[in-house]
Structure formats: C-alpha cells, structure tokens
Amino acid sequence: MRGNQASNMAAAEPVTSLSSGEPLTEGVCFRMYTEKQGLHLGLVGWVKNTHGGTVVGQAQGPAHKVEEMKVWLSEEGSPSSRITRFCFSNQRNIDTLELSGFKTRF
C-alpha cells in the first residue's frame, strides 16, 4: 500500500494502531512470517528482534484487520513457533496511518 492508497484507506474506515511484543523466538523465522502476514492483511507497520531475543512491532490499519493480526500473533505465528505469551500495548484509534509499508527492521 503506497501514498494515497493508505490515506484513502484511513479516510474510508476507522484505523487502529497497535504495538506488540514479548514472544521469545529463536530460529523460527517469526519476523519474516509476521511481515508476510501484515502485508497479506493490508496493514502497515514493522517488526524487529530485540537484543533480549523477543520480537516487537507495530501494526496499523482497519480495526478488524488489526484484530486479525492480533489473533495470528497470539495463536498461530510462524509454522515452527510455539507461542506461550504475547503482549499488546498502546492500542488506539488514529485518524490517519502514521506508517507506510510493512517491513522488518534490524
């Protein structure tokens, strides 16, 4: 989703911003699959590993798509992952998207 397309989506329906973090991951390609799922759902945001071995990120988009992402993150994840806990924070409604694309950060 680029430029005006993202802005048009924001104007068409309520959008939500969500921060997440906490899964402890190692060798399960969690970031790659999270980026792929975010793009599949039409969300914008980012995902990255922390120095402590957890994954953090942010997703923005239509509220129902952000909810789908929450379910995916907390119940499914990457094919090799075993999720025991996932924390979400800073969920809020926003007027327009603050990010573009869905990327893995390093």
pTM of the model: 0.81
What's the Cα-to-Cα distance from 9 to each of 18, 44, 64, 71, 91, rounded to whole Å?
17, 11, 13, 22, 18
For position 85, what pLDDT does the model report? 82
Residue 56 pairs in a beta bridge with 21, 48
For position 10, what pLDDT does the model report? 44
Residue 62 pairs in a beta bridge with 15
For position 14, what pLDDT does the model report? 67
Task: Give the active site residue among 2, 31, 92, 93.
Answer: 31
Active site residue 31: yes
Q: Which CATH code for domain 3-104? A: 3.30.70.100
Task: Give the active site residue among 2, 4, 8, 49.
Answer: 49
Tens-digit pLDDT string for the chain (106 aa): 444 444 445 445 768 888 876 655 666 898 999 999 999 999 999 999 888 878 889 999 999 999 999 999 999 999 988 888 888 999 999 999 999 999 999 9
For position 7, what pLDDT does the model report? 44
Structural domain boundaries in the chain:
3-104
